[in-house]
Amino acid sequence: MRVGAHISISGGVWRAVERAKDVGCEAVQIFSGNPRGWKIKVLSSEEVLKFKKLCRERNIYPVIIHTPYLINLSSPDENIYRKSLKAFQEDLERAELLGAELFVTHVGYHRGQGIERGICRMAKALRESLESFPDLKTKVMLENTASAGSSLGHRFELIAEIMDKSDVADRLYLCFDTCHAFVSGYDVSEEEGLEKTLAEIDGSIGLERLLLVHFNDSKHGLGSHLDRHEHIGRGKIGMEGMRRIARHPALQDKTFIIETPKKSPADDPRNLVLLKQFRDEVPVSDS
């Protein structure tokens, strides 16, 4: 297991590597540009080379690119859909340029047009995008979302259906967000609920296709449908629940990224220390 955080690229993408190392990251997740706008600054060859060089020197890997928030590959609005598809493909190209091993995008929203139509629309967008990049090295992951509004990503069987209908399922993977799962009704705070959740993932998608865990506690309760991340152990999943997730045998070969609140410079280091403590605990002997 390698652990890290989502880090700001303010001042240049390469600065994220230095910030990541400073707070204790082994891996890093970034936006490749402005996450709240359609237009993004072109990456210069100098920036790209410096980013890759610093990743090697600081031993930061894997690199994960998170797509902008505006992207909705399930949108029934043709203008938004086309903008989303273009932004998704451009971001995928930037991820490959930066040498990112992983690329994560939220599953979209059908905006009142129905689940099946939304699923087909997103599946088509994924197929078209991946067929445009036949030699892509970066692995594309779909992230489970909080069950707000017309979400398609709050149930793992829906994500599995999107993958299957895309006809490129063998090139798609899963990012498992603990907060999103919890507020969508998966009780990952308890041992039985965590086992059921992982069994559902394994049965519908396959645990071998789960590559990334967004390791976030939840400010709100089970099934609340409210997407508000909390510091590790300070939310409704709780310290023991978060520890159990981090220690689960099925997740030990995954990358863990925190997306916890950043109200002070001490927040990321503190959350990463806790995550590393969970990971590095010596198993208790039965003898």
Distances (CA, A) of 283 to 78, 252, 272: 53, 13, 20
Which pLDDT belongs to residue 40?
83
CB–CB of 4/61 below 8 Å? no
Domain residue extents for the chain: 2-280
Q: Is 201 exposed, middle or buried (0-12, 13-18, 19+ CB in 10 A)?
A: buried
- How would you class 225 by CB atoms within 10 Å of its CB: exposed for 0-12, middle for 13-18, buried for 19 or more? middle
- For the cut 80, the answer to whether the pLDDT of residue 53 exceeds it is yes
| pTM for the model | 0.94
Q: What is the pLDDT of residues 215-268, one digit of tens each?
A: 999 999 999 999 999 999 999 999 999 999 999 999 999 999 999 999 999 999
pLDDT tens by residue, 119-140: 999 999 999 999 999 999 999 9
Superfamily of domain 2-280: Divalent-metal-dependent TIM barrel enzymes (3.20.20.150)
